[in-house]
Each structure stands twice: as C-alpha cells, then as structure tokens.
C-alpha cells in the first residue's frame, strides 16, 4: 500500500487522538469508528469543509532531510520498487508552496528519484479540502484515488 507522507501523518494523528481519548464518541472529529476497512478515515467525507486560512510560506528547503530521504530511498530501491507520489493539495495552498514544490521536484530529479507525476498534478479546488491543505473530502478522495490508479497502471505489473 502506498501512502504519501502527509496521508500517513493524518492516519497516525487520528489514531493517536482516539487512543488518548479511549472513547468512540469523542467530541473530536476523529474516532475509531470513522476508519473504513482499508484504514481510510472517512467519517468526514459527507461533512462540510472547515474554513481554512492561507498557509504560511515555508522559508527554505530542508537539505539535511532531503539528503537523508534520498539515501533512504536509494537503499530501499535495492530491495523493492519505489514510487514517489506527490500529495493531494488544495489549490490556494499549492499557489503559496509552488516554488517549494518545484525545488523538491528538481531535487528529486537531480538525485534520480523523481515523483511519478509533477507535483501540480494532484492540485484540487479549495472546496475539496476538509480541515487541512492535504486532508480532503469525498470529492478530493475520489479525485486523488482516480489519479493514483491511472498513474500506477503502467508502473505496477
């Protein structure tokens, strides 16, 4: 199963919130009953999105982490096929982070571990966002899932 780093963070965050509360009827948006059989948190899919502010621009590319990431991925590629997929992101956030996304894209290309598709491929309308720039509602999930299926067809044989 391929999970973008932001998706993994969302899953971990939701599960931690649940286990800390130890209740299934917590006031939070997250509860164990909100996960489907695939591990997706889907309880919010039918809910109205939350008002999001314009994100702050990141100051710089984190080169030490980039080098660590490249080293780790290259080691992993010796053991299995690795596919790096950019995350889904709402349009207004992508506009703020577009230069950063391009720097990351260039860095990965220079290190021979490119994204499967350009980062702008998974930009969605703002109304597809639920409560963060990367956490999307059902329309966003359907869009991203459709993209991933199409993109992986030629990669996974």
Q: What is the pLDDT of residue 135?
A: 87
**Average pLDDT, 10 consecutive residues per value, the chain (157 residues):** 55 63 51 78 77 75 91 95 94 92 94 95 93 88 94 87
Q: What is the pLDDT of residue 25?
A: 45
79 — phi, psi (to 5°)? -110, -25
pTM of the predicted model as reported, rounded to 2 decimal places: 0.72
């Amino acid at each position: 199963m391929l999970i973008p780093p932001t998706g993994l963070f969302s899953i971990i965050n939701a599960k931690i919130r649940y286990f800390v509360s130890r209740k299934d009827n917590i006031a939070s948006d997250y509860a164990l009953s909100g996960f489907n059989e695939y591990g997706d948190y889907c309880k919010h899919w039918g809910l109205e999105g939350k008002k999001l502010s314009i994100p702050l621009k990141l100051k710089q590319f984190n080169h030490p982490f980039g080098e660590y990431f490249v080293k780790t991925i290259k080691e992993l590629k010796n053991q299995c096929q690795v596919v790096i997929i950019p995350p889904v992101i709402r349009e207004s956030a992508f506009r703020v982070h577009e230069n950063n996304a391009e720097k990351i894209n260039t860095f990965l290309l220079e290190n021979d571990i490119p994204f499967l598709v350009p980062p702008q491929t998974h930009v969605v309308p703002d109304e597809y966002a639920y409560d963060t720039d990367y956490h999307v509602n059902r329309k966003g999930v359907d869009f991203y899932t459709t993209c991933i299926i199409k993109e992986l067809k030629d990669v996974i044989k």
